[in-house]
Amino acid sequence: MWEDDELDLLLSSAMGRLEHSLRWKQTNQPLSSLQVGEKFVTVVFDLPGVERDEVVITCTDDRVSVEAEVTRRAKRGSRVTEGYARYSKQVVLPVKVVSEKGTAKFKNGMITVKLPRRVHRPLKEPGKRLRLTA
Amino acid sequence: MSQTSPRVRIVEFGPKASKPNVIVGVPEAGLVGTIACSFIIEQLKLEERGYVDSDYMPPVMVVHDSVARLPVHIFGKDNIVVILSEVPIMGRLSLEMAKEVSAWSRSVRANLVCGITGAPSKEREESQGEGKPTVVGVGNDMKAMEALKTSGALPFQDGVVSGFYASLLKYCTQYEQSSIVLLAEAMAQFPDPAAASAVIEKINTLLSLKVDTRQLEKESEEIRMQTRELMQQTRQAAEQSDRATGAYR
């Protein structure tokens, strides 16, 4: 039988789904992923339908943000609709990075931001060696 | 009518398929299962034949053209049946639904149950979806292995299948129902229509269908936009499920 808290967990996970491809006149949060490697932090944003010159990526030592404004005119027969959508998201990084050395690649609406991690200077002295006792 | 589980109901209306091939898609890595099944249904103009429901289904109604509908439906035509879920299926529901789908397939004397999903791939994540995803497959009996060979999917030599599709294979085996699962290399965290395309090509070969994947490629951007929320929900559901079971990912 279902445990009560399993059921609660299930029912409390807020799930809703909207069908629109672009939410007109609202700010959307694009999907993103964050990967922390040994030397680099990689953040990927997914902005389908957006052109390269419509995106602005900004980064500081501890966060990366994306902003994009899209205006599209769609023509279907004699009807012309103009839609506007705004994407905005800020990703806080769990480690410090060197923002000046960041790179951002755009491909097909996916933006990959690669930031080198801030390296601490290695210890001048080797640590104290501990003797292993039984 | 429900076969084995009082917790999950499969309700059918409309003509019953005879010895169908049952394709099953639920949202997982890259939303491959959902995107692929949704596209197959649209392209082959499959008719609605029923739904899958449970008191333990997430409290979600999917809205299409202002009509509120249950999230898991059955579509079919001739001898193809597609079971499509538009919500993530996790935890206990995942087990119970896999059990019920397996039992139902056996009861309609299905030729083959084909689960389609994505396998998270580091390479694909790193290249942001560039290149053609590989499709691997796993089967549960001789007939399934033959089917896999026909499809052209690479055999999945060693490893683990987990979650809904693992339960599907398990219960199909228990009920002596031939079944395969096709997994396309996919981006785990973003909708991956190209991965869905790759798996549809294998289904086309396997079941002699002519689903045109070029249309899927054209609609790729729109699909990524439309499924953004579902991807977010799927990621959250996976995290919650991991926390609940203490699984290490």
For B48-94, how does the pLDDT look when each residue is reduced to its tens digit (9 = 90+)?
Answer: 999 999 988 988 898 878 899 999 999 999 999 999 999 999 988 99
Quick one: pLDDT at residue B28?
A: 95
| Among candidates B130, B189, B230 on the partner chain, residue whose Cβ is nearest the Cβ of A17 | B230
pLDDT single digits (tens) A59-91? 998 999 999 988 765 555 555 555 667 899 999
- Whether residue A103 contacts residue A43, with contact meaning beta carbons closer than 8 Å, is answered with no
Question: Taking 80 as the threshold, does the pLDDT of residue A4 lie above it?
Answer: no
Interchain CB contact of A95 with B (< 8 Å): no
Interface probe with B: pick from A9, A17, A26, most Cβ of B within 10 Å: A17
Which residues 23-82 in chain A show a CB within 8 A of chain B? 28, 30-31, 33, 35, 44, 46, 48-49
Contacts of B84 (CB under 8 A, 6+ apart): B25, B34, B37, B38, B41, B72, B73, B74, B75
What is the mean pLDDT of the segment spanning A87-114? Answer: 93
Question: Taking 90 as the threshold, does the pLDDT of residue B247 lie above it?
Answer: no
Question: Taking 50 as the threshold, does the pLDDT of residue B13 lie above it?
Answer: yes
Contacts of B20 (CB under 8 A, 6+ apart): B76, B79, B80, B81, B108, B110, B111
Task: Of A5-9, B6-10, B33-37, give the range with the top mean pLDDT.
Answer: B33-37
Quick one: pLDDT at residue A84?
A: 67
Quick one: pLDDT at residue B77?
A: 93
| Pairwise CA distance, residues A118 & A115, whole Å | 9
Q: Containing H/E element for A4?
A: helix A4-12
What is the mean pLDDT of the segment spanning B14-37? Answer: 94
Residue numbers in B near A107 (CB within 8 A): 128, 130
What is the mean pLDDT of the segment spanning B185-193? Answer: 95
Quick one: pLDDT at residue A73?
A: 57
Quick one: pLDDT at residue B98?
A: 97
Question: Taking 50 as the threshold, does the pLDDT of residue A15 lie above it?
Answer: no
- Whether residue A105 contacts residue A125, with contact meaning beta carbons closer than 8 Å, is answered with no
| Among candidates A6, A20, A110 on the partner chain, residue whose Cβ is nearest the Cβ of B91 | A6
pLDDT single digits (tens) B22-32? 999 999 999 99
Contacts of B174 (CB under 8 A, 6+ apart): B102
Chain B residue at shortest CA distance from A44? B128
ipTM score over 0.90, yes or no: no
